[in-house]
Structure 1
Amino acid sequence: MKKVAILQSNYIPWKGYFDMIASVDEFILYDDMQYTRRDWRNRNQIKTPQGVQWLTVPVQVKGRYEQKIRETRIDQDSDWAHSHWKTLEQNYRRAAHFDEIAAWLRPIYIDTAHDNLSQLNRTLIEAVCGYLGIRTKLSWSWDYELVDGKTERLADLCAQAGGTVYVSGPSAKDYVDESVFAARDISLSWFEYTGYPEYQQLWGEFTHGVTILDLLFNCGKAAPQYMKHVRS
């Protein structure tokens, strides 16, 4: 049995995203999809004393309305990386494990040049997976052939990867045709994002949906205790 999940890359995703990665044998970054504005592709949330705040990577969108995520370029006229790191430092330096996480995270922001959104997202996703000990294979959707049809493409990608179980987020129930997977003898499993325990979090009322960096800064190597599929 091989479990496969297929999802667009996100910028410093929340813990549920990494739980899905950890729950499968191969995770395909589906960045052949069209880039969507004001979405999770290039932004995520952190906690601050003033409440939840967005961190947004500036990207080139003018005249590029139909570009794919993999084609999306980061705006080189902005010093976003230093700004994001400064914001993270200002809001999490009091966290118990800030220095430990900063040792490997800061160089990604400060010492590395980024010009492609997909690659930036993957670099950060791989770094977090490495820290958490997640050994799931990560691949790009363009490592495989792409067929037409929304559900047909997902099922075919899963089949090409040798998957016998396709793990999908619950929101896909609105459009996934389960019969397409059944015709290929692929089981369909719906991932649940509920039931996460709270942890010691800075700045007021607990918030689940922020970037996983919040969990890492606050809990360090104990982070898997507050996830469902990551083993410590």
Structure 2
Amino acid sequence: MASTPDSDHRPAQPERPVTPVTALLLPGYSPDLSWLARALHADRVILDDLHPFSRKSKVHRTKIRTPDGHQWLTIPFVREDRRKPIRQVRIDSRRPWTGHHLQALEYNYRNSPCFDFYEPEIRADFDTASRCEFLVDAVRHLMQRQWLYLELPEFPQWASGLVAGMAAGMDNRAATGAEPSPFQNLYDALASDRTVVWQEPDSRNYQKPHPRATEPRFASQSSPKPGRHDSGLPPRSGHDSASVSKAEFDQTGLPVYRQHFPGFVPGCGALDLLFEYGPDAWQVLDLLAINSKT
């Protein structure tokens, strides 16, 4: 095809810059797939332990499978602390919780494929958590251990540490006579950044909305309706082609995976995924693909 005048000399169009994404998430006892999808695909993940605590959040509770559906496991907290920042909330030591939670996990998962594989380490994790005075310390330990079992990338940073670093930077600039930092708090800092913010899924009743907040769109939502369809992901090996290239997704775009009780209950925490898939949990995590960060 003949070129039009000056077409060969037309300046190249600059590439549209990709806006970085910050996942501003609340820490959680055992995060679910929607939480993990945000954490795995954001450019930066911040665990907001400075946010006011809410009993409606999943900071202190997680959902597990049962023969009849599901059950919530909840870490008891001191009622007087319910309006404090998450990092200042204490565990109610008058209500022993780890034994009850371990009993519930054993009763409901002892016949799952991988419960025996993780059971000794999970017991040790809960023993450590039982000695924590503050909720955030118990949650931090349990999250870090589950992060390790799932073989996920580097663990996210905590908001309290980030803000402490900002304060130190402000002190240094003040000492040198340089321009002081405009950041007053974490939300102001993120609002000043050129970043898109992903927040806790379904959190409008307990997490302060950020002015730059938006919802990610999962790759599976490009399908006209939920169900079993091509995941768009290449299999890792010939043995995995059936389980990875074809997968079932729910209405929110998250994968429907095998659970040892009949049917599927969405929204269960990472412990459910571990007991069902163990070291093969990547088969589900690989399906948490997001179409666009903007």
Q: 2:241 maps to what in 1?
A: none
Does the 8 Å CA contact 1:165/1:189 hold for their aligned counterparts?
no
Q: 1:199 aligns with which of 241, 257, 264?
A: 257
Q: Deviations over 1:144-192 (max 9, x none)?
A: 2374578534335xx4xxxx644404658994434xxxxxxxxx76324
Cross-structure match for 1:49: 67
Paired residue secondary structure (2:132): coil
Maintained 8 Å contact 1:27/1:138: yes
Q: Is 1:152 equivalent to 2:182 in the alignment?
A: no
How much does 1:97 deviate?
0.6
* Counterpart position of 2:215: 190
How many residues matched?
214
RMSD: 2.8
Equivalent residue letter for 1:177: P
The Cα of 1:114 is off from its aligned counterpart by 1.9
1:66 match: secondary structure: coil
Question: Matches of residues 61-76 of structure 1 in structure 2 within 5 Å?
Answer: 61-62=79-80, 64-76=81-93
Residue matched to 1:101 = 118
Give the equivalent residue in structure 2 for 1:185.
Answer: none
Distance 1:115 1:192, change over 3 A: farther
Q: Secondary structure at the match of 2:156?
A: strand
**Structure 1 counterpart of 2:272:** 214
TM-score relative to the length of structure 1: 0.79
In the TM superposition, residue 106 of structure 1 has moved relative to its aligned partner by 1.7
Distance apart, 1:98 and its partner CA: 0.7
Q: Whose Rg is larger?
A: 2
Which letter does structure 2 place at the counterpart of 1:154? Answer: L
Aligned-partner SS, 2:191:
helix
Q: Which has the higher contact order (CA 8 A, sep 6+)?
A: 1
Given the alignment, which residue of 107, 110, 113 partners 2:127? 110
Amino acid at match of 2:284: Y
Q: Is this contact kept in 1: 2:144–2:155, CA < 8 A? A: no
> Residue 58 of structure 1 contacts residue 75 of structure 1 at CA under 8 Å; is this kept in 2?
yes
Stretches of structure 2 that go unaligned for 5 or more consecutive residues are 1-17, 167-182, 219-251, 290-294
SS in 1 for 2:76: coil
CA distance in 2, matches of 1:165, 1:221: 34
- Cα distance, 1:137–1:203 mapped onto 2, change above 3 Å: closer
**TM-score after normalising by structure 2:** 0.64
1:140 to 2:158 alignment:
yes
Q: Is the 8 A contact 1:4 1:166 kept in 2?
A: yes
Please say if 1:40 is aligned against 2:58: yes
Corresponding residue to 1:129 among 144, 147, 157 = 147
Q: Distance in 1 between matches of 2:114 and 2:57?
A: 29
Does the aligned pair in 1 maintain the 2:62–2:74 contact within 8 Å? Answer: yes
Counterpart AA for 2:190? L
- Percent identical across equivalent pairs? 28
Runs of 4+ in 1 over 4 A off after TM superposition: 146-151, 170-175
Tell me which of 72, 83, 86 is aligned to 2:103.
86
Distance 1:167 1:177, change over 3 A: closer
- Who is 1:226 aligned against? 284
SS in 1 for 2:256: coil
Matches within 5 A, 1:3-42: 3-42=21-60
Alignment partners' CA distance in 1, 2:83 and 2:64: 29
Task: Give, in whole Å, the separation in 2 of the partners of 1:225 and 1:165.
Answer: 30
Q: 2:255 touches 2:288 (CA, 8 Å); kept in 1?
A: no
Does 4-13 or 144-153 show the bigger shift?
Answer: 144-153
Alpha-carbon distance in structure 2 between the residues aligned to 1:98 and 1:65: 34
